[in-house]
Amino acid sequence: MDPITVGIIGSLVLVVLLFLGMPIAFVMMLVGFCGLWSLSSLGAALPKVAETVYGVAANYPYTIIPLFILMGSFAGTGGITRELYNTFDKWFRKFPGGLGIATIAACAGFAAVSGSSVAAAAAMGNVALPEMRRFGYAPKLACGVVAAGGTLSFLIPPSLGFVVFGMLTEQSIGKLLIAGILPGIVLSLAYIAVVVVLVKMDPSLAPRTPGNVTFKEKLIALKGVWETLLVFFIVMGGIYLGFINPTEAGAIGATSLFIIVLLKGKLTWKALFVSLLEMARISVMVLFLVAGATLFSYFLALSTIPTMVSTWIAGLGVSKYLILTIIIAIYFVLGCFLDSVSMMVLTLPVIFPVVVAIGFNPIWFGVVAVLMMEAGLITPPVGLNVYTIAGIAKDVPRGEIFKGATPFLLAIIATALILTIFPIIALYLPNLMGR
């Protein structure tokens, strides 16, 4: 049997096993192992499995994953979400949908010290939802704002999405992280625009918040952002200036937040145990996913399918932007069934070579890919952020939360379009790093 036929059969088996409910990491490992066995020999396939699993777990740069997760856990323990929310509440209270805007701004701030979108949604949901509900915000809007705002942690560094993308495509994780800063700001502004437009169209969604805040009170409230700014500038500034690599930045960020939480007297043994347990759980999940994707990629490379697909698409003579549109549409569909990291490990072995072959910048595509993964966090029926918020707002039907989050998908599409027209937004800061 020729390699291409084996590759096609393996891919079909992978899809069938996924629909049967088998965990994606083990599906990719199984198919990758069987494919390597078919195309080479059992004696070659078995050592490759052991080498891949050990290589991923023992690779020093990959320690950035637990460190970024730990940063988010310590930030939540230290009450940074509440401080950010209180600060932005005072600044945006009198705007249409002011509490919603404050929530988006606080989510963006929390994203600067957290790499997990689900953790961000949970932390901000516990702070912002009671306030918005107390002041009469429609449950649909309140829950949708928090679910969408939580996705910013997947784009604004330190981002787990960029780490996984860099691991799978062998691109510079440091440049990917820096590339997410300006697009993250653009998406935050787009989310805020959605809130304002929704409230302008239907003021009953978000009644005006009573009470006046003086300019002096606003200035005093800014003290609530110093911890976030300090950690962000230490971590991302160190990477940008070349003083530290991303792994060292993760260690410094986690240590900084640990000290902050300790000095604030909020670090209990229980909180530390929960943080470490969450770090271990997510890290093991991601590393198994990456190991499975790596093994599956070896199989695909041996089958020559990625090369064949890249050559075929490059020879079609159609616009590369049409191909990009198709890829984005595929990610939207997959986002309805898979979580963000699973989507990435499943698609990048085939899609990334195509993107590079048709001439797109790999760092720029990393930003667009991570942006589209964000959409999967709030699309039905598998949007993890929506399920997280549903666990907090138990009286709000899950369908209502999905409806509340849907308008924010337009902001994600608009941001992707802006990045396509003006790729310099994503590439400006990484290009300066290369000088």
Q: What is the pLDDT of residues 96-107, one digit of tens each?
A: 888 889 999 988
Q: What is the sign of the dihedral through the CA atoms of 27, 59, 249 and 236?
A: negative
pLDDT at 118: 75
Does a structural domain hold residue 186? yes
Separation of CA 45 from chain center: 33
Closest CA to 338 of 69, 24, 26, 32: 24
| Domain membership flag for residue 14 | no
pLDDT top residue among 174 and 78: 174
Indicate the pLDDT class of residue 410, thresholds 50, 70 and 90: very high
pLDDT at position 366, please?
94
Domain contains 176: yes
Q: Looking at the predicted structure, is the pLDDT value of residue 42 above 90? A: no
What's the CA gap between 143 and 128, in Å, rounded? 9
- pLDDT for position 420: 94
- Write the pLDDT tens digit of every residue in 10-41: 888 888 888 887 888 888 888 888 988 888 88
pLDDT value of position 178: 92
The stretch 87-110 carries a mean pLDDT of 86
Give the pLDDT confidence of 341-352 residue by residue, as tens digits.
Answer: 778 877 888 888
Domain count, the chain: 1
pLDDT given at position 434: 53
| Average pLDDT over every residue of 307-313 | 74
Residues of the chain with pLDDT > 70: what percent? 99
**pLDDT tens per residue across span 189-241:** 999 999 999 998 988 888 877 667 777 778 877 887 888 888 888 888 888 88
Give SS3 for 377: coil
Q: Which residue has the tokens 């990435």?
A: 344
Query: Which region among 142-146, 179-183, 371-375, 394-398 has the lowest average model confidence (pLDDT)?
Result: 394-398
- Give the per-residue pLDDT at 211: 67
The per-residue pLDDT for 364 is: 95
Average of per-residue pLDDT across 327-338: 82
What's at 383, amino acid-wise?
A: G
Domain-embedded: residue 45: no
In a domain, 148, yes or no: yes
For the ranges 112-116, 124-128, 173-177, 229-233, which has the lowest average pLDDT? 112-116
Mean pLDDT value across the chain: 84
Determine, yes or no, domain membership for 49.
no
Cis ω before 381 (30° cut-off from 0): yes
pLDDT band at 435 (very low <50, low <70, confident <90, very high): very low
Higher-scoring residue by pLDDT: 337, 277: 277
**What single-letter amino acid sits at 398?**
R
Q: Give percent of the chain above pLDDT 90.
A: 14
DSSP string over 120-176: HHHHHHHHHHHHHHHTT--HHHHHHHHHHHHGGGGTSSS-HHHHHHHHHHT--HHHH
Specify the pLDDT at position 104.
92
The answer to whether residue 234 is domain-embedded is yes
pLDDT bin (cut points 50, 70, 90) of residue 271 is confident
Q: Which domain holds residue 254?
A: 62-433
Give alpha helix (H) positions in 223-268.
Answer: 226-241, 246-263
- What the block records as the tokens of 319 is 């616009």
Residue 15 domain-assigned (yes or no): no
Residue 134 has pLDDT above 50, yes or no: yes
Pick the residue with more confidence: 170 or 369? 369
